Structure formats: structure tokens, C-alpha cells
Amino acid sequence: MTWVNALVQGILLGGLYALFACGLSLLFGVMRIINLAHGDLAVLGAFIVWTVSTQTGIGPFWALLLALPVMLALGYLLQRAVLARSLRGGPLTPLLTTFGLGIVIQNGLLEAYSPDVRSLGGAAGGIATGSWRLTAQLSIPYIGLLTLATAVLVLGGLHLVLRRTAFGREMRATAQDPDTAALVGVPAQAVYARATAIAVATATVAGAFLAVHSTFDASSGPTQLIFAFEAVVIGGLGSLWGTLTGGIVLGVAQTVGAVVDPQYSILAGHLVFLAVLASPRGRSLLTRSGT
């Protein structure tokens, strides 16, 4: 039963990783860039949700609804003011730009909030601590199930948008060939700005669930970026449903590794990631990304 419990907890943990990886996968699929500030943007969203929740006394999920429009606008402005220029400088420039942006966000959060660790678990009430106990050794936490359900809804919603709406067709056309798409009236920069806004919003959702699920501080971004990047690579660069699969594989690897030895939890996930990179599929993914 211990192994079954590890499998269940790993699947639920994978939902959190998939949420973090969603925006990263979207930006790579549309703009062919890897946003190195993605984890820090998620933590920024978590701090905004934490601020709204603590200042107003409302629950974290209500605070998330108030924070999302702010982060959508921030993502839109970020692409218009920063990323649009860096995209014209070649594949390396966006990496350096987002790396610098991540450093700026981290230092700004340290100045504003100090290095103290925070959490929204207490503000979330029973949903953060309660669980369905199926057997003496197997239980399903409410927050884990809610996180996984949210990941499925977000990824499923984005998949429908990409496949069934005019905006989705514009994003797919721009991703394949922005110059040709521009010839038929698709404004590539506007598409990029809206895609970035969506990616930052999904990062905020992930940050809010991290704040409820665990603890966070101003320096938590790089760790979450690593997990998100591993989930994207394991599932396939640019694939939304693959992102969910990659997150679950990474989560299961970590929980199973923890059963063997608690020290092996993070290591097991990294080993799975390296195994995928070393495979022929992993090499083809790196070729696609231009790295």
C-alpha cells in the first residue's frame, strides 16, 4: 500500500508541476523562447495573492481572482515592452533578457517582502489540511485533488482555445510562420502579447496553489522553474497535454524516490529528466528548441 500511496500522491503533485509548466510550454510553442523568469513570475503572483488575502481577509482563491487581471496586464506589457525587442536579437537574447528579468523580480521581492517564508495554507482552511482517507495507509488530500483538477481544466481550456477559436488559429499560424501569418492579416506582436499574458496568468494560478500547498519565499522561483522545465521536456516541448503527462511523471518519480529514501526524492525526478534527454526523443526535442 505504501507504493500505491506514493503513486497517488505523485499524480497529485504532478498536477502542481503541470500548472507551473503550462505557461512555459505555451510560450515555447508560440514564440519559441524559454522564459527563464517564469518561476519568478509565478512567485510574484503568489505574493500578490498573499498580499490581497492578508490585507482584505478573503480566502486565497478569491484573492487569486483579483490578482489574475493584474498579472494578465503585466504579461501583456512585459511582452510589448521587453520581449518584443529581445525577439529581434536572435535566440540567445530572449534567454538573457528573461534571466535578467528573473533577477530583477527576485531582488524586488526581497526588498518588498524580505526573505521570510510565507504560506497561505492557514488562510485556505480545511481544504489545505483535509483529505479523504480511503484506507489506513491511503488518503487523498483535498488540495492535491483540487490542484490536479485545476491543471486539467486549465490545460483543457487552452487546448480548446487553440483548436476551436479564431484566436487559437492565429496563435497556431503565428507559431508556424509569423511572416506568412502577417501576410494574411494576423498581427504577430499582438498574438505574442496575448500569449504572454495567458502564460503569466497561468503562472499566477500555479503560484497561488504553491502558496496553499506549501511555503514560498522571494527565492523560490528558480526551483519552480527547474521543475516546470523538466515537466515540459519530459512531456514534449510545446505540447499542452504532454505537459500534464510530464508533470505527473516527474511527481511520481519524486514520491517513489522518497519511499526508497527521503533524500532521493528530488534526485529521482532529475534522473528521469536526464534519461529523457539522453533518449533519441530527448535529442530531437533539443534540436527543435535550437539548443
With cut-offs at 50, 70 and 90, classify the pLDDT of residue 176.
confident
pTM for the model: 0.91
Helix-then-strand count for the chain, H and E: 15, 2
Q: Is the pLDDT of residue 217 over 50?
A: yes
Cell representation of residue 160: 480548446
Cell representation of residue 37: 523568469
**The total number of residues written for the chain in this structure:** 291
With cut-offs at 50, 70 and 90, classify the pLDDT of residue 279.
confident
- Give the integer Cα–Cα distance in Å for 243 and 248: 9
pLDDT higher at 184 or 203: 203
Say if CB 197 and CB 27 are below 8 A apart: no
In this prediction, residue 288 carries a pLDDT of 54
Q: Which helix (H) or strand (E) holds 95?
A: helix 92-113
Say if CB 233 and CB 273 are below 8 A apart: yes
Q: Is the pLDDT of residue 218 over 80?
A: yes
How does pLDDT run across 56-107, given as a tens digit for each residue? 989 999 999 999 999 999 999 999 988 888 887 777 888 899 999 999 999 9
Torsion sign across C-alpha atoms 222, 227, 232, 233: positive
Cell representation of residue 260: 526508497
Q: Mean pLDDT, the chain, as a whole number? A: 88
- DSSP three-state, residue 206: helix
In this prediction, residue 291 carries a pLDDT of 46
Q: Read out DSSP for 213-247?
A: HS-B-TT-HHHHHHHHHHHHHHH-TT-HHHHHHHH
- DSSP three-state, residue 1: coil
pLDDT higher at 76 or 29: 76
Q: Which amino acid is at 271?
A: L
Please name the residue that has the C-alpha cell 505574493.
47
- Give the integer Cα–Cα distance in Å for 210 and 39: 11
In this prediction, residue 277 carries a pLDDT of 83
Summarize the confidence of residues 10-39 as an average pLDDT: 91
How does pLDDT run across 152-171, given as a tens digit for each residue? 999 999 989 888 888 888 88
Q: Is the pLDDT of residue 1 over 60?
A: no
Summarize the confidence of residues 182-207 as an average pLDDT: 90
Spatial CA neighbour of 126 closest among 112, 143, 145: 143
Q: Which amino acid is at 190?
A: A
- Give the integer Cα–Cα distance in Å for 185 and 47: 39
What percentage of the chain has pLDDT greater than the value 70?
95
With cut-offs at 50, 70 and 90, classify the pLDDT of residue 246.
very high
- Name the least confident of 35-44, 82-91, 251-260: 82-91
